[in-house]
Structure 1
Amino acid sequence: MSSLDNLSITNRYAEFPDSFYTRVAPQPLANTRWVVWNDELASLLHLPSFSQIPEELLANFDGSKVWSQFKPLAMKYTGHQFGVYNPDLGDGRGLLLGEIEGRDGAIYDIHLKGAGTTPYSRMGDGRAVLRSSIREYLAGEAMAALGIPTTRSLGLISSDTPVYREQQETGALLLRVAETHIRFGHFEYFFHTNQHKELKLLADKVIQWHFPSLANSKASYAEFFRQVVERTAKMIAHWQAVGFAHGVMNTDNMSILGQTFDYGPYGFIDDFESGYICNHSDHTGRYAFDQQPRIGLWNLSALAYALSPLISSEELQSALGQYENILSQQYYRLMRSKLGLNVPHEDDGSLIQGLLAILETEEVDYTFFFRQLSYLDSSDKAVVELFKSRAEFSAWLEQYLKRTELDNKLCNGEGISMEQRCQAMRLHNPKYILRNYLLQNAIERAEQGDYSEVHLLANLLSNPFDEQSDYDDYAKLPPVWGKKMKLSCSS
C-alpha cells in the first residue's frame, strides 16, 4: 500500500473544461534522491516525517510512478511580462498533481516543478535545476517564518540528469505547496481570448474555493476583486518592510490569493539601496525594490481589465483606489513595529523616510541596522558605529528617542521601558535573513552532493528572530563579493 492511499486527495482543477489545461505525464529524471523533506509541511498534509519516509514515496513524487489518485496537468494562462502581454504562457515546466486536505481543514495544491516539457514550454526543456530549486525551497521557508504570505515546498529532489543553462547543471524537482496556483494570468487568458463564459466559471470557482463567504453575495465579483487588491497590497507592504525584492513581478507570477509566488532572481537588500535591482535581465529597473508598490497596482489594473466583463468599471476603480492607502497603512504599521512604536503619529512618515535616506547615503546594511537598533537598551554605541557620518545619524537617533517618549505619552500614560521596547523590536527585526551569498555557499556544496548547508539554512531561517548564538556567523555582514548580487530569471 502506498503512503498516499489514506490521504484525502481531490482534483478540483481537473474538473474544469479542457480549455483550462492539458493533461501531461511527468517525465522522470535519472537516479533521483531526496535533498530535503519538509517535516512540518508533511505533518500538515498527513505525510510521514523524513525519518519514516517509505521508499515508494520518492517514486510517487518524482514522476516515475505517478500515484493513481493524482491527475497531472499543465495549466494554461497568459500574462504581462515586463509590461508586454504574452499569449503563449502556461505551465511550461511544472504540473499540478492534485490537492491534499491538510490537518487544518484547508486544501493544498501539490505541484511538481521541473517535470519536463508541456505544450506551454515554448523553446524550453521543461526542467528545473538544483540551484534554482534550492533557492525557491529556502525562500518559501524564510518568508513563511518572517510572517510573509508565501508558497512553500514539501520536498526537493536531485538527480543524475544533466540540464543545460549557461552551463551544464543538475536536474531537480521541487514539490511546491500552495493554497492555489491560480494567477492573475489565468483570468487574463480567458479575457484576451474572448472566453467570457470560462472567465466567469473560473471566477465562480475561485470564490467558491477560496472566498466562500462571498459565494452567495450579489456583489461577489466586486468584493472578490477588492479582497485581491487588499491581499496584494499587504503582501507587497511586507516585502518593503523586510527589504525583499521579488525581481520578476510579471502578472503570471502574481497569486490570486496575495501570496509570494514563483521565486526567481529575488534578493534581500544588503546595504540599503531604494532602487536595488536583483534581476540582471531587468535593464530598465521595472522591478526594482522601490518600484514594487507601483508595479503591484499596475498588475492589479491588468487583472481589473480582465475582470471587466464581470465587474463594473466604477467598482473596479473603487477597489483599485484603495490599494495605495492599504499598502501605506500596512507598511507604516510594520515599520512602527520595527522601531518599537505602538501608537501612530502624523510625523512617523518623515521619521521613517528620513532614516531610510540616511541608510542609503551611508550604505548601511538594512537588516543588520534594525537588529542593532533593537539592542539600544544595552548601548547605542554599536548602532552609531555603523555610520561614517555619525552626526547626521545621531541627530536622527535623538529625534527617534523623543518619539519613543511621545509614544509612552500616547499610550494613555501606560508607557514601557526601553528594555521592554527593544525586546518587542527583536520580535520584528530578524537576526537572520536569506542573503544571496549564503544561498550561493549552500548551492555550491549541494552541487557536490553535500546538502548539509541547505538543511542548516532551512532550520536556522525557521526561527529568524531568535538569537541562536551558535550561528552568529550567519548574521554577520556579507562579504564584498556577496553584496547586491544580481541573478538571472533562471535562478
Structure 2
Amino acid sequence: MNETPQAYRPDPRILELGDAVYDVVEAANFPETRLRFRNDRAADEVGLAALSDAEWTRHFGRFAPLPDNLPRPLALRYHGHQFRSYNPDIGDGRGFLFAQMRDHGGRLMDLGTKGSGQTPWSRFGDGRLTLKGGVREVLATEMLEALGVGTSRSFSLIETGEALERNDEPSPTRSAVLVRLSHSHIRIGTFQRLAYLRDDETMTRLIGYVLRNLYGEEPGDEPATRLLDLVVRRTARLAASYMAAGFVHGVLNTDNINVTGESFDYGPWRFLPTWDPAFTAAYFDHAGLYAFGRQPEAIHWNAMQLAVSLRTVSEAAPLIAVLETFGDHYQTAVSEAILWRLGLVPRGAEEDAALVGAVERGLRAEMLPVDRFFFDAFAGHLPDGDAFAEARARVAPYAARKARDHLYWRDDTPCAMVIGEVEAIWSAIADRDDWSLFASKITAIREMGAALA
C-alpha cells in the first residue's frame, strides 16, 4: 500500500469487546471483481485514497486484510424489532466488519460490507447483493450526504460476476459487493441481544466501548443514562434530517438504527415526489408504519427499545426522563434542518418553528414537487397563493445564510432523485452496461452538495 499525505491510522477497537458480539467469518470467493465505484473523497478522510485500483480491488473485492487491522472479517451479532416484531435470529447475514481506522478528525470509522457472502446469520439467504441494490445505495448515500443527512458513505462498489435469482426483480440479475464507511455499526439491536441474553457483563463493556470510542467520553457514574441521552439527541437529529431531505428510509427497524445516529442500510428507500406524510417506500409496509410522516415516531420508538435494554444495568427513572426529551430535541433539530435547506439563518426557537410549520402546511396543501420548492425557496421565492401566505409573511425578516452564487444555481433544474430517474440509471447499466448516467448523476449531486454546504 502506498503512503498517503494524511496517514492511514488503523485502530481495530472492536476487539476490546471479545467474541461475545461477533463471529469470525470468511469472504466469498467471487468469480470476478470489476471496480464500478470508488469514493476517493471518503477514502482520503481515512488515508486510503492513494490505493491503486488493483490494490483497491484486492482489499475491497477479495478482502485481503488492510495493514495492522482486523486479520479476518467479523460478522456482528444483534437482535431487533422488525416492523415491531422481535426477532432473535438475525445478525450480519450478508455483511461483516472488515476494518476500523481513524479519520482526519479522529473519529473511529468502520469499513463494513454488504453482499460479501454467507455468515452464521445468513439463515436461508445466499449472502449476496444485487448490482442494482448496490447502485441504489450509492445514489441514496450521495444524495443524503449532499442534503445534510448524517449517513454511511458508499465507499466501494465492485461487480462480482454471479447471476442471482431474486423474487422482487427480473432474474437472473447481476451481483456486487458494497463497502460502506460508517461511524460504527453498533445498533440498538446489539444492545437488545445482550439484554435478551441477560449478559450484563458484556452490556457494561459495550456501553463503555460506545462512550469512549464513538462519543469520546469516559464512562461516569451513570453510563447507561449518559449513553441513552447521547443516542436520543443523535437519533432525534436523524429523524429531523430525513424530514428536511424529504427522504423515506423504508425499514426503520431497531437493527437498522445506529447508536451514533448515522443513517445506514438502504433497501426500499424513496425521496418524496410531493410532501405527503402518508408516503411509504416499502411495498410490504402495508400499515404505513414507516411512512414519511411517521419516521420521527418510529425512531423515538426504537430509542425506547434501547432504554428497555439498558434497564438491565440501570434504574428506570433516569432512562425515562431522558426518553421524554426526544420531542424537544426533534423540534429543535427539524427547525434547524428545514431552515438550512431553505437557505436561512435561524432567528429563535419559536419564530423558527412557526415558519417551518407554515411551510409544511403549504407543502401539504399544494402537493408541490419537493425539490422544486426548496430550489426556488433557497433564492427567496416562495409560491404565490393563499397556501403560502403565512410562510411568505413569516420568512420576510430572515437573512440568507449563503449567497446563491454557485454554478449549481445557474441551471433552473433542481437536482432530484425520484424513482423514475433511479430506474433509468439502472436500465442503462442493465441493458447496455452504460455507466454514464450513473457517473453524471454523482457529479450533479456533489455539485448540489457544494452549493448547499
| TM-score, normalised via structure 1 length | 0.83
Pairs within 5 Å for 1:235-246: 235-246=238-249
* One-letter code aligned to 1:60: H
CA contact under 8 A between 2:211 and 2:219: conserved in structure 1? no
Measured in 1, the distance between the counterparts of 2:110 and 2:174 equals: 26
Counterparts in 2 of 1:39 and 1:347: CA distance versus 1, 3 Å: closer
Question: 2:437 aligns to what?
Answer: 453
Pairs within 5 Å for 1:202-351: 202-213=206-217, 215-339=218-342, 340=344, 342-344=346-348, 346=350, 349=353, 351=355
Question: 1:30 aligns to what?
Answer: 31
- Among 436, 439, 442, the residue aligned to 2:419: 436
Shift of 1:107: 2.6
CA contact under 8 A between 2:183 and 2:262: conserved in structure 1? no
Shift of 1:355: 3.9
Question: 1:486 aligns to what?
Answer: none
Counterparts in 2 of 1:19 and 1:290: CA distance versus 1, 3 Å: same
Question: 1:58 aligns to what?
Answer: 57
Counterparts in 2 of 1:188 and 1:59: CA distance versus 1, 3 Å: same
Aligned partner of residue 438 in structure 1, secondary structure: helix
Question: 1:12 aligns to what?
Answer: 13
Counterparts in 2 of 1:337 and 1:4: CA distance versus 1, 3 Å: closer
Shift of 1:10: 3.1
Question: 1:463 aligns to what?
Answer: 447
Counterparts in 2 of 1:426 and 1:193: CA distance versus 1, 3 Å: farther
Pairs within 5 Å for 1:18-417: 18-49=19-50, 53-63=52-62, 65-66=64-65, 69-70=69-70, 71-166=72-167, 167-213=171-217, 215-339=218-342, 340=344, 342-344=346-348, 346=350, 349=353, 351-376=355-380, 383-384=383-384, 390=385, 392-393=386-387, 396-397=388-389, 399-405=390-396, 407=397
CA contact under 8 A between 1:375 and 1:422: conserved in structure 2? no
* One-letter code aligned to 2:417: L
CA contact under 8 A between 2:108 and 2:214: conserved in structure 1? no
Shift of 1:238: 1.0
CA contact under 8 A between 2:96 and 2:114: conserved in structure 1? yes
* One-letter code aligned to 2:129: A
Shift of 1:124: 0.7
CA contact under 8 A between 1:431 and 1:467: conserved in structure 2? no
CA contact under 8 A between 2:279 and 2:291: conserved in structure 1? yes
CA contact under 8 A between 2:158 and 2:178: conserved in structure 1? yes
Structure 2 unaligned regions, length at least 5: none
Aligned partner of residue 17 in structure 1, secondary structure: helix
Measured in 2, the distance between the counterparts of 1:31 and 1:422 equals: 47
Aligned length: 440
Shift of 1:337: 4.1
Q: Which moved more, 1:162-171 or 1:173-182?
A: 162-171
Counterparts in 2 of 1:467 and 1:140: CA distance versus 1, 3 Å: closer
Shift of 1:301: 0.5
Question: What do residues 29-64 of structure 1 show as CA deviations (whole Å, max 9, x unaligned)?
Answer: 212111011111121122235xx6142431222136
CA contact under 8 A between 2:107 and 2:214: conserved in structure 1? no
Pairs within 5 Å for 1:417-428: 423=403
Measured in 2, the distance between the counterparts of 1:290 and 1:138 equals: 23
Shift of 1:73: 1.2
Counterparts in 2 of 1:64 and 1:466: CA distance versus 1, 3 Å: closer
Counterparts in 2 of 1:466 and 1:66: CA distance versus 1, 3 Å: closer
Measured in 2, the distance between the counterparts of 1:120 and 1:400 equals: 51
Counterparts in 2 of 1:338 and 1:146: CA distance versus 1, 3 Å: closer
Counterparts in 2 of 1:316 and 1:33: CA distance versus 1, 3 Å: same
Counterparts in 2 of 1:307 and 1:451: CA distance versus 1, 3 Å: same
Counterparts in 2 of 1:219 and 1:94: CA distance versus 1, 3 Å: same
Measured in 1, the distance between the counterparts of 2:152 and 2:349 equals: 34
Counterparts in 2 of 1:64 and 1:237: CA distance versus 1, 3 Å: closer
Measured in 1, the distance between the counterparts of 2:105 and 2:359 equals: 41
Shift of 1:78: 0.4
Aligned partner of residue 251 in structure 2, secondary structure: coil
Question: What do residues 268-313 of structure 1 show as CA deviations (whole Å, max 9, x unaligned)?
Answer: 1112211111110101100001111111111001110000122221
* One-letter code aligned to 2:144: M
Q: Give the fraction of aligned pairs with identical amino acids, expressed as a percent.
A: 27
Measured in 2, the distance between the counterparts of 1:349 and 1:258 equals: 23
Counterparts in 2 of 1:465 and 1:7: CA distance versus 1, 3 Å: closer
Aligned partner of residue 447 in structure 2, secondary structure: coil
* One-letter code aligned to 1:34: L
CA contact under 8 A between 1:374 and 1:423: conserved in structure 2? no
* One-letter code aligned to 1:322: T
Larger radius of gyration: 1
Aligned partner of residue 175 in structure 2, secondary structure: strand
Shift of 1:459: 1.7
Aligned partner of residue 176 in structure 1, secondary structure: strand
Aligned partner of residue 224 in structure 2, secondary structure: helix
Shift of 1:331: 0.9
Question: What do residues 220-258 of structure 1 show as CA deviations (whole Å, max 9, x unaligned)?
Answer: 321121011000001111111221111100000000000
